[in-house]
Structure 1
């Protein structure tokens, strides 16, 4: 395959303003000397989990069984997709390897060495502590892991003391990605029939929890933090199936998404952006980047053919129904897989396909969907559709 080499003019004040050459793998990037970050430290839920959940749950759970992973890895890896996730594309674009799940070392599978990155994300995780939901009768039957749990893991494995000079040095040379986290705080409640008004009252608490986690990481030494927003949940097959109705005014006529659910996502994101602006004022020496997952994803629904998608609202892997999603027959159980996952936005009705995640990642890395823009993060230019990790 021929590779195009082009300069990237990076004029933001994010971390390092460099001209970088495209490379197809980590070794080539290291040879150029353009690796601005030595590692990525990632937190979150199933949108970013690269294998923690399957190491702490029933091994027959989805993510650990076919057809998950079939497109790229050709086997289940614990990623809730047919292939790579947004975090995978970000890592490779920065010249870094795929992130190892934290629990791979805890389970004795590998040496406890996270020099090039570590992933604390767990599928099903919430921002708020499990007790918040238990007090309200909301059931999380996947995991009791919260963002607080992940921060505890971080301190245990990466930074034992907030006064550690070694810790600060590690964090200053790392890119910290805070999520996506918070989506499950709403998902469980919505799918269990709690009123929209009550769930809306969770949003400030979720934002405050995320903000506190960012502040703690900055105190430990973090200098570059990416904070993703929520996706447009009104376009997700699981939500479309759960809230299906005949009232056409509930739906966006151009995309088929449910308007009020997307408005909920936008409200979360607006409150998150305001809080990040406050944190920037408090911590002027830290670059805090908002990753606009919402609008990056909406590109897929508003202009699907531009990106090669033929089906935006149905799951590739499912058991039938209007959106090919059945909560009682999820992907990997009594389900069928579409012939071309790359033509679908949704993989299993909740999570996206590798193809969709790549478009979102490229919108963040090379497009307009970060604030401030990330074009100073020493990205390997030309990475779209060209990096091969087989």
Structure 2
């Protein structure tokens, strides 16, 4: 099934479990020898697939309008940010070109990487969620659809398995929209915890399928602290005691769902790692890496308005769904590098760069990415809780 002209995405992601020490960011890229990058996921990794799927009606996507892309590319390009995403910084760090979107691309442009991620995508199948009364208005290109594209692509290569074996596989972030969309639809938040085991199980099955296809090094990110995102801070604003984290101002119960997802995900990665000891499965702790900034924004070069969007339509958190970034009634801040959130649902280039550095050069991956790179051989490691 091919997605057709999906409307604007409002994806984001959640995340966490184990608490790691404070990071000392490494400015030097790891010395890895991956030949290419293969990516699956949602808007946090989408470098233009939804943009191309939406043609000729692409103008209704926020990411098709300024100021998206203004900081690095200087024009909208399908990325839901003002500039580069984590996948872009990973590619640059590994000495590889920016990963091209699969949709509408040419096979000869994928020699050094291919990106199947689609903004708005869920982990669970579109049809499965609809049976639960959850209707994704953004895209039907779920993780299963992306895997179908991937297998079709591999079948077109004379040496597909070698291509996979020599690539760094990015499986996600994916799963955040399985929680975000029910929240946006006004579905009882209690359903989110019941979704988490199914979401994680599906990610686990996909991971095993990638391994069977030849994957040797797979990076699997957890979800972000969604309770700190301007969109949800605007959506849920009751004046209740213990509702907000006194240190950050983030919504406690939303972040707890992120931590629950990440706990289940790490246990699933543990289980699969034991089944495939000669494969490197790396957990990327997006939650704790990002939480550093929320706790000490100025220490890491960010401004004081850590819970406000740079680009938005006003309000306490500069987020208004009816005046979403990119539309005439919205406005952008002067310096996006001081902000964590770009549009209330996605991060700024500065925040994505920080996360990439945290992952590649610091302690926010398990096993450490630098360990994998220094040995350039699969390392099995059981995660500690």
Q: Same fold (TM over 0.5)?
A: yes
Task: Please state if 1:124 is matched with 2:123.
Answer: no
Superposed CA offset, 1:252-292 (max 9, x none): 11111011110100000000000000000000110000000
What is the TM-score with the length of structure 2 in the denominator? 0.86
Tell me if the contact between 2:192 and 2:257 (Cα under 8 Å) persists in the aligned partners: no
Task: Please state if 1:319 is matched with 2:309.
Answer: no
Q: How does 1:253-292 map to 2 (within 5 A)?
A: 253-292=246-285
Superposed CA offset, 1:16-68 (max 9, x none): xxxxx969xxxxx9xxxx65100000000000000000111131111121110
- For residues 351 and 289 of structure 2, what CA distance do their matches in structure 1 show? 10
- For residues 202 and 247 of structure 1, what CA distance do their matches in structure 2 show? 26
Q: What SS does the aligned partner of 1:63 have?
A: helix
Deviation at 1:314, TM superposition (A): 0.5
Superposed CA offset, 1:218-242 (max 9, x none): 0010000000000000000011000
What root-mean-square deviation, in Å, do the aligned CA atoms of Structure 1 and Structure 2 show?
1.7
- For residues 209 and 260 of structure 1, what CA distance do their matches in structure 2 show? 24
Contiguous gaps of at least 5 residues in structure 2: 1-26, 375-385
**Count of aligned residue pairs for this structure pair:** 343
Q: Find the partner of 2:356 among 355, 361, 373.
A: 361
Q: Which residue of 1 aligns with 2:44?
A: 47
Q: Which residue of 2 aligns with 1:135?
A: 131
Superposed CA offset, 1:150-181 (max 9, x none): 001101112469xx8x2221111100010000
- For residues 217 and 330 of structure 1, what CA distance do their matches in structure 2 show? 36
Contiguous gaps of at least 5 residues in structure 1: 1-20, 24-28, 380-390
Tell me if the contact between 2:100 and 2:109 (Cα under 8 Å) persists in the aligned partners: no
- For residues 73 and 35 of structure 2, what CA distance do their matches in structure 1 show? 24
Q: Cα gap change, 1:111/1:284 in structure 2, threshold over 3 Å: closer, same or farther?
A: closer
Task: Please state if 1:348 is matched with 2:343.
Answer: yes
- For residues 107 and 269 of structure 2, what CA distance do their matches in structure 1 show? 36
Superposed CA offset, 1:189-220 (max 9, x none): 01212122212111111111101111111001
Tell me if the contact between 2:234 and 2:319 (Cα under 8 Å) persists in the aligned partners: yes
Q: Cα gap change, 1:195/1:287 in structure 2, threshold over 3 Å: closer, same or farther?
A: same
What is the TM-score with the length of structure 1 in the denominator? 0.85
Tell me if the contact between 1:238 and 1:350 (Cα under 8 Å) persists in the aligned partners: yes
Q: What SS does the aligned partner of 1:306 have?
A: helix
Q: Which residue of 2 aligns with 1:8?
A: none
Deviation at 1:376, TM superposition (A): 3.3
- For residues 326 and 209 of structure 2, what CA distance do their matches in structure 1 show? 39
Q: What SS does the aligned partner of 1:227 have?
A: strand
Q: Which residue of 1 aligns with 2:216?
A: 223
- For residues 292 and 32 of structure 2, what CA distance do their matches in structure 1 show? 30
Q: Which residue of 2 aligns with 1:17?
A: none
